[in-house]
Amino acid sequence: MKPEDARERIHKLLVTGDNRLKQGVAPEKVRQSYEQALELAREAGLEESVRPLVEVRLADLERLAPGSPPPEPPAP
């Protein structure tokens, strides 16, 4: 796969995960999209630039999971 094709596919997977999250789709499906993006990035040699994006999204997914404590209020 050409790097530009891999970048486009990774972008689509990240957007799919984001959209699933906004639509209230099961967290497993959201996680699956993000993990597929990371795996594709790894295969295409783009992991260094994609991993931080996926890590932030996965952390948000964990934070939003049922049973998670509510977010801290902003500092005054």
Q: Token digits for 35?
A: 């993990």
Average pLDDT along the chain, 76 residues, taken 10 residues at a time: 90 96 92 96 94 94 70 58
pLDDT for the residue numbered 73? 57
Q: Return the sign of the alpha-carbon dihedral for residues 17, 19, 22, 23.
A: negative
Please give the pLDDT value at position 20. 95
* Sign of the CA dihedral with 58 first, then 20, 30, and 34 last: negative
At 4 the pLDDT is 87
Cβ neighbours of 3 (radius 10 Å): 10
Q: Is the pTM here over 0.85, yes or no?
A: no
Residue 71: predicted pLDDT: 52
Residues contacting 13, CB < 8 A, separation 6+: 33, 34, 36, 37, 40
